[in-house]
Chains A and B, each alone.
Chain A
């Protein structure tokens, strides 16, 4: 089948979203399901059907969401209502909107943990520490199921 001429193709927009917490590596399909669930519950089936949201990229703590041109504001608002991806608590923060994925990838700033990870105990629970720039420290509980997450800073740890 011949592709449509460019003038007849649907115009699209791409939204770059940062996935929180840092270090989360959700599956692309799970991100898509979360986005669609949030958008459908906020705007309804008809609006989401016309917006055609899709997750085209999900890696390194970022996701790129595609939608039809003119619906990007609605989809960005829907992203703000995402509270979980799969069974894990998460948030999607819209960083930028563009007409090409290439332009968005230039905006990606990978956030990697700094060296100096360790362990600490809070209220009898053992946590693994992950340090990030700007003195941020994420604490992940050492357990198999329902890991508790705590978000601290370096000065908070020094006070303990």
Chain B
């Protein structure tokens, strides 16, 4: 079981380089990180996976972007959530692996229909800790409501969840223990957090029937 931070944004998007973020992630208890836009094999330290974020206005645009070389070379493909029709359409696109930015979408934008499709396809929904850490007041309250709703659907339909810090800096990265505390704010148990932190590994290397070679 690999504990993975599902998205970090290293320099030049942030103020910390990928190598530095990887070192910090290892100290914070992670086995791997997904770097948005970057990712190179590292010798020693935690594994670094390459992530690509797609934000399209329509599912057609998403399909077009998914077939571009940048997305093809990525280990994990994220799509920013949109309205209810967009999310229902996006979860059925084969190449899409994670639906992110769910806190920024409208209430109920990810409904039971999308949840069932996500569970059948093995698509994950990302829970970003950035709104819980960075926001204050009503914005954070709305994010907590959204995450609680997602958790309810997750318990009912069993789709995957991923947890990301969304960190642009080492100052925004959080340890596994701190993540457990933050996720407890919207009712996530320790076992669910562990499972969600290990989900990226399951997305990258899905369970397949054993093949006998030779």
Contact = CB atoms under 8 A, between A and B. Distances in A.
Interface of A: 20-21, 41-42, 73, 76-77, 79-81, 83, 89-91, 93-94, 134-136, 148-153, 155-156
A149 B178 contact: no
B23 A94 contact: no
Contacts of B16: 150-152
Interface stretch (B62-70, B85-93, B181-189): B181-189
A80 B174 contact: yes
Contacts of A156: 17, 19-20
B184 to A, nearest CB: 7
30 contacts: A20-B171, A21-B170, A41-B136, A73-B181, A76-B177, A76-B181, A77-B184, A79-B178, A80-B174, A81-B132, A81-B182, A83-B134, A83-B171, A89-B169, A90-B171, A91-B172, A93-B175, A94-B178, A134-B23, A136-B23, A148-B15, A150-B16, A151-B17, A151-B20, A151-B21, A151-B170, A153-B19, A153-B20, A153-B23, A156-B19
A41 B185 CA distance: 13
B214 interface: no
Contact of A77 (B17, B20, B181): B181
Contacts of B1: none
Contact of A91 (B19, B171, B185): B171
Contacts of B171: 20-21, 83, 89-91
A135 B23 contact: yes
Main secondary structure of the interface of A (DSSP, over half): mixed
Interface of B: 11, 15-17, 19-21, 23, 132-134, 136-137, 140, 169-172, 174-175, 177-178, 181-182, 184-185
A77 B178 contact: yes
A151 B178 contact: no
Contacts of B21: 151
A151 B185 contact: no
A120 B179 CA distance: 36
A80 B23 contact: no
Contacts of B140: 41
A107 to B, nearest CB: 15
Contacts of A73: 181
B175 A20 contact: no
A22 to B, nearest CB: 10
B15 to A, nearest CB: 5
Contacts of A83: 133-134, 171-172
A86 B136 CA distance: 17
A121 B130 CA distance: 31
